[in-house]
Amino acid sequence: MYEFTYIKPGSLPEASDLLTRHEGAKPLSGGMTLIPTLKQRLSQPSHLVDLTGLAALKGIALVEGRLEIGAATRHVEVATSTVVRESLPALAALAAGIGDPQVRNRGTMGGSVANNDPAADYPSAVLGLAATVHTDRRSIAADDFFQGMFATALEPGELITRISFPLPERAAYAKFPHPASGYAMTGVFIAVTGGVVRVAVTGAGPGVFRWTDAEAALQASFSPAAIAGLEVDATDLNADIHAPAAYRANLVRVMALRALETLQTSSKGQ
C-alpha cells in the first residue's frame, strides 16, 4: 500500500468537504474492495475518509411505503434485519449470499453500489427494483446510475448516502456463485412493482443490465413457460477463464427460471 492519511469525520458535511477539498481523497466504507485494491497498489489516494461513523449513512427504515437503507449499512445487517426480511425478503436473501461471513460483517451496500463490480449482487436489486440512489448532492434513478463496468453516474467526491427501494408485489434473486469468491457468475433479480415486471442481470455482462425480452414476455404471461424458449445474445457478454460468453448467456435464462421458481413457492419471494 502507498501511504495515505486516514480521517474519520463525524458528520456528512465534514466528509463531503474533505472529499471536495482533497482531490486525491477517497471514501472508505467496509474496505472489502478498497483495501485489497490498495494492497495491489492499483490506487493511490492521498486521504481515506472513513464513512462508517456517519449517522446520516446508517439505518434501515420503512418510510412512506419504501424501504430506505443507509449507504454504510453492512451486508450482515441487511441479511438479518427483521424489517428487510418482512418487507423485501428477496433483498435479505441476496445480502445473505454475498461472499462469506467475514465479508458480510464489513462490506456495505453503499460501497458495493458505488463500486459497481460487474459481478456484484446489489446492483441487480437496485436496478431490478428501480430503486433511487440518494447522494449528498442529488437523487439518481437506478436506470441512470449504472453505466457499465465499474462506472456509475457518481461525480468525483460525490457520496451515496442511502438507497430507497419501492416495495414490490413480488421479487426474487437467483445467482450462480463463483465457487471460490461467491461473486455472481450470473445473477438475475426479478421484481414485479406496481404491476410492472423488471428483470436485472448481473455477472453476465460488462455491467448490470435489464433483460428486456424477458420483461416483455413475463409482462404478457408471468410464468416460467414465457421465458423458457428465450435466447440470450452472447455477443456482448463476459468471457473469461471461468466461463465463455455462451455459458453465461445460458445461465441468464437458467437463473431467471430459478428466480421464478422461488416466486411460485412463496408469494413474496424468499
Ligand X SMILES: Cc1cc2nc3c(=O)[nH]c(=O)nc-3n(C[C@H](O)[C@H](O)[C@H](O)COP(=O)(O)OP(=O)(O)OC[C@H]3O[C@@H](n4cnc5c(N)ncnc54)[C@H](O)[C@@H]3O)c2cc1C
Site membership for other proteins, residue 71 (CB under 8 A): no
* C-beta of residue 53 within 8 angstroms of C-beta of residue 33: no
Question: 243 touches which of ligand X, other proteins, none (CB within 5 to 8 A by kind)?
Answer: none
Q: Which of 70, 89, 107, 205 binds ligand X (CB under 6 A)?
A: 107
**Which one of the spans 33-41, 158-166, 241-249, 259-267 is the region binding other proteins (CB under 8 A)?**
33-41
* C-beta of residue 134 within 8 angstroms of C-beta of residue 154: no
Nearest approach in angstroms of CB 28 to ligand X is 5
Q: Smallest Cα–Cα separation from 196: which of 166, 173, 237? A: 166
Site membership for other proteins, residue 42 (CB under 8 A): no
Site membership for ligand X, residue 128 (CB under 6 A): no
Under 8 Å CB-to-CB from 228, ≥6 apart: which residues?
Answer: 253, 257
Question: 15 touches which of other proteins, ligand X, none (CB within 5 to 8 A by kind)?
Answer: none
**Residue at grid coordinates 458480510:** 104
211: left (phi over 0), alpha (psi -120 to 50) or beta: beta
Residue 24's SS3 state is coil
Rounded to an integer, what distance in angstroms lies between the CA atom of residue 20 and that of residue 17? 5
**Residue at grid coordinates 434485519:** 81
Binding string, residues 50-89; x marks residues near ligand X by CB under 6 A: -x-------------------x------------------
Q: Which of 11, 23, 24, 36 binds other proteins (CB under 8 A)?
A: 36
Q: Which of 15, 19, 25, 38 binds other proteins (CB under 8 A)?
A: 38
In the window 167-186, what residues touch ligand X (CB under 6 A)? 181-183
Rounded to an integer, what distance in angstroms lies between the CA atom of residue 157 and that of residue 176? 34
The greatest distance separating any two alpha carbons of the chain, rounded to the nearest whole angstrom, comes to 57
Nearest approach in angstroms of CB 233 to ligand X is 25
Q: Which residues bind ligand X (CB under 6 A)?
A: 26-34, 51, 71, 98-99, 103, 107-108, 110-112, 114-115, 117, 120-122, 154, 159-160, 181-183
